[in-house]
A = this chain, B = another copy of it.
C-alpha cells in the first residue's frame, strides 16, 4: 500500500521515450502537484491548500503486474482509480462464460465511475502491462467536493465526459462496418496518446488482437484481416503491436468521423491525482 520508492513514471511502451521521474517518500505529499499528468486533470483553479487537501486523500498503490486485477466483478466500490502509467482493460462476464471487453484505460483516465450507482463493480479491471494507479477513496472525494465547488464541478464534468464518450462508442458499435470500427478505434487511441503528450502517429498497442476484436464486437480473424488490408492500402504500418498511422485523413473518412474538432482543450481534461 505504501512502497513510495516504487512510484515512478514507467516506460509504458517499448521504444517510446519517456522521462523516468522517481517520486521519493518525501515528495509523496505533493505528488499531484508534481505529476506529469497534472494539467490533464485538475481544474486550474485548484491550487495551494486545496490541492494539498486533495492530495492528502489519494492513496498510491503498488504497481500491478501484467494480468493482475485492480478489482473484480461484484467487488464492493470504495474508490475511483486514475491510471498513472501503463494500461488496463475492463470487462464483464457474459452469460455463456465468455468475457466482454468494455474499455481500455490509458494514463490519466479513470476507472470505477460505473460502480457508484450500485456500490459494486459491474466489471473487472485487469492490467495489460505493468501499471500503476492512484486510488481516490470515493467518500473522501465526495466530502471534499462538498467543500470545493470547483472540484464538484470537475467531477461532474468528468462523469459527463464518460457518458459522452460511451455514446460515441455506441455510435461506432451500432452502425459501422468492421473497417470503420477498427479505423475509429485506432484514431481514438491515437488521439488519447496525443492528449498525453505522446506521438499520435506512432504508438504501441498494449492490448491483444483478441481484446480489440472483443471490444469492437468482431471476430479476431476479421480484425486481423482489417489490419492487413489497412496496411496493403497504405493507411497504416502495423507490425505486431507497433502501429504507425500513415494516412490519417483517409482513416477518418473510413471511420466516418471528422475528428478535427476533438482536439479542443475542453476535451482534454481528465481527473488525475
Q: Contact residues of A with B, CB < 8 Å?
A: 92, 94-96, 100, 102-103, 113-119, 122-123, 142, 145-146, 149, 152-153, 155-164, 166-167, 169-171, 173-175, 215-217, 256-258, 264, 266-267, 269
B170 touches A102 (CB 8 A): yes
B118 touches A164 (CB 8 A): yes
A138 to B, closest residue via Cβ: B156
What is the total number of copies of this protein in its complex? 2
Secondary structure at chain A's binding surface: helix, strand, loop or mixed? Answer: helix
B171 touches A174 (CB 8 A): no
Given A256-B95, A267-B118; A166-B170 close (CB under 8 Å): yes
A175 touches B217 (CB 8 A): yes
Contacts A122-B164, A169-B170 supplied; 14 other A-B pairs, CB < 8 Å: A92-B171, A94-B171, A96-B256, A100-B175, A115-B164, A116-B159, A117-B158, A117-B269, A118-B264, A142-B149, A145-B152, A146-B152, A159-B160, A174-B215
